[in-house]
Amino acid sequence: MDKSNFNKLHVYWNPYFGGFLLGLLIIFTFYMTGRGLGASGVMKSGVVTMVDQVSHEHTIKNAYYSKFVSGDKSPMNNWLVFETLGVLVGAFISGSLAGRIGFRVQHSPKITVKRRLVFALLGGVLFGLGAQIARGCTSGAALSGMAVLSTGGFITMLSIFGTAFLFAYLFRKNWI
């Protein structure tokens, strides 16, 4: 890949412009639906659906799964699932326009692909667990919470970024 082409791939929007549009989108979402955006909810729906397929009895007995399975309505019939289908398409369109589509593992040249994937898996496990405890992730709890001045949203945001800063030193080899 020649240098000029490589640089073009990494030209992103001005962050303030992106943030401004994202803010307008959050206003629109609240104006339409009375709720904010979300992201981790779809993965919860996915897990509940899969476990339900394996053993329906198990999901009804479990105090957590049973909150999300009700009679004949599938857990996948959910606002966040439809929103996420949109996210996938929207991100794909943006990536296509900028020429960023392609199967690859992005990692620092100082670490191996295997190390990157192991840390991605572990990071995901922790994030999934934490998002359930806090009832939402950076989108649903922190960002949408902050839009309506939710105290819990602000606490979650401070806790996520504060802890990430505290632990950044331990993981520095992965990034810098």
Residues numbered 95 to 114 that lie near other proteins (CB under 8 A) are: 95, 98, 100-108
Which tokens sit at 158?
Answer: 């401070």
According to CB under 8 A, which residues from 63 to 102 bind other proteins? 63-65, 79-80, 82-95, 98, 100-102
Please report whether residue 2 would count as binding other proteins according to CB under 8 A: no
Q: How far is the CB of 76 from other proteins (least distance, A)?
A: 12
Q: Give the residue with the Cβ less far from other proteins, 21 or 74.
A: 21
- Report, in Å, the least distance between residue 155 CB and other proteins: 4
Dig out the tokens for 76 from the structure.
């996948």
Can residue 54 be called a binding residue for other proteins (CB under 8 A)?
no
Q: How far is the CB of 2 from other proteins (least distance, A)?
A: 15
Q: At 136, is the secondary structure helix, strand, or coil?
A: coil
Instruction: Fill in the DSSP letter of residue 62.
Output: S
- Binding of residue 125 to other proteins (CB under 8 A): yes
Cβ-count burial 95-117 (b if 16+ within 10 Å, e if not): eeeeeeeeeeeebeeeeeeeeee
Residue 76 contacts residue 52 (beta carbons within 8 Å):
no
60 in contact with other proteins (CB under 8 A): no
Cβ–Cβ under 8 Å, residues 156 and 141: yes
- Which structure tokens are listed for 171? 């993981």
Answer yes or no whether residue 37 interacts with other proteins by CB under 8 A. yes
